[in-house]
Amino acid sequence: MSIEVGEKMPAGMFGVMTEAGPGAMSTDELFAGKKVVLVSVPGAFTPTCSASHLPGFVAQADALSAKGADTIAFMAVNDIFVMHAWGADQKVGSAVVMLADGNGEYADALGLSFDGSAFGMGKRGQRFAIIVDDGVATHVAVEAPGQFEVSKAETILACI
C-alpha cells in the first residue's frame, strides 16, 4: 500500500552531498516545519528525468517558493555521488536538494518502489511528486508506468 493524502511521511534517511563530502539527511530534517515538494524519478541521468522532470522543477523553483514551498527535493535509487553529479550536470544549485535513496529503502517505505530488473535497473522508485506539509502528505501524484503528467513541475505548481 502506498502513502496517501493525510498520512504522516515515514521516517527514513537519505544520502546527501555536503561541503565536507558524503553525508546524511533524516526525514525530520527534511520535513519538520516545512512545506516540501518531494519528487522521485526512476533514475538520475535517464532521458525523461534529465530532459524534462528535473529541469522543470529548476525552472519553476521561484514560482513554487512564491506559493509556499520551502524545499524542492529530488530522490532516486542512486548513490550520493551519482545524485550529486546529476545535480551539478543539471545546474540545480540551491534550487533543488538531491537525495540519494541508495538501496530504495525510502521508496519501499512509501510503498512506491518497483522492480526494474527487466530493464537492467534493479529496484527503483516510481515517478511521483508528493507535497508534504510539516511531515504530512497533502498531495500525492504517482505516474502510471511510462507517463509524465501528474508529477511534472507545472502540474505540482497548480496543486500547491
Domain ranges within the chain, ordered by starting residue:
13-159
- Does domain 13-159 fall under CATH 3.30.420.10? My reply is no
Q: In the predicted model, is pLDDT for residue 122 greater than 90? A: no
| Closest-CA residue to 61 (of 138, 153, 160) | 153
pLDDT band at 145 (very low <50, low <70, confident <90, very high): confident
pLDDT band at 39 (very low <50, low <70, confident <90, very high): very high
Q: Provide mean pLDDT across the span 16-31.
A: 97
Give the residue numbers annotated as catalytic, written as ranges: 49
- The helix (H) or strand (E) run that includes residue 153 is helix 153-159
Residue 11 to residue 4: CA distance in whole angstroms: 15
- pLDDT for 107: 97
| Closest-CA residue to 61 (of 85, 39, 92) | 92
pLDDT band at 154 (very low <50, low <70, confident <90, very high): very high
Q: In the predicted model, is pLDDT for residue 121 greater than 80? A: no
Q: What's the grid cell of residue 97?
A: 536538494
Predicted TM-score of the model (pTM): 0.95
Residue 144 to residue 136: CA distance in whole angstroms: 23
pLDDT digits (tens, 9 = 90+) for 68-113: 999 999 999 999 999 999 999 999 999 999 999 999 999 999 999 9
- pLDDT for 118: 79
Q: Provide mean pLDDT across the span 8-34.
A: 97
Q: In the predicted model, is pLDDT for residue 60 greater than 90? A: yes
